[in-house]
């Protein structure tokens, strides 16, 4: 009886096995769920665009590595057996290696360059490339390298 009631409410559960897996999340955020839905649809309908997004993110990582001021956090993931994969559309940058905290880098990128990062910590920022998008990563990389080095 409870399973029937849950199914009528549109909730996930055994009464609606087709909905069970897509409804699992560590967050109840409607925005997150909507973002996942858009990304899933994009993966199916825009494979070339998503491939271009992955390539622009990887190209940005290569340029950041070559310039040498910042380290790419995911470059060390192979050292940890519990990390099995990384999102290719997210670029985690070790800002401490470049002489600035992640929080200060986020603040200055936003204020001085109108660039938003997804996440900032004391030691890193995470830039995200939207699935199907091909942003101007040269602008991002240039802004990143214009940041001051107050820690040195």
Task: Kindly indicate the confidence band of residue 36, based on its pLDDT and cuts at 50, 70 and 90.
Answer: confident
- Token reading at 43: 């993966």
> Phi and psi at residue 2, in whole multiples of 5°?
-65, -40
125 close to 49: Cβ distance less than 8 angstroms: no
pLDDT tens for each residue of 66-76: 999 999 999 99
Indicate the average pLDDT of the chain.
84
């Amino acid at each position: 009886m409870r399973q029937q009631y849950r199914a009528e409410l549109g909730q996930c559960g055994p009464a609606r096995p087709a909905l069970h897996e897509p409804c699992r999340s560590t967050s109840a955020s409607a925005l997150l769920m909507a973002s996942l839905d858009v990304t899933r649809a994009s993966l199916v309908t825009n494979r070339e665009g998503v491939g271009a997004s992955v390539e622009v993110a990887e190209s940005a990582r290569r340029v950041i590595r070559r310039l040498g001021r910042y380290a790419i956090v995911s470059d060390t993931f192979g050292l940890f057996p519990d990390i099995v994969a990384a999102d290719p559309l997210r670029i985690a940058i070790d800002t401490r290696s470049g002489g600035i905290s992640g929080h200060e880098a986020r603040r200055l990128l936003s204020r001085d360059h109108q660039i938003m990062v997804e996440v900032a910590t004391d030691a890193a920022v995470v830039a995200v490339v939207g699935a199907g998008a091909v942003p101007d990563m040269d602008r991002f990389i240039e802004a990143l390298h214009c940041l001051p080095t107050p820690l040195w």
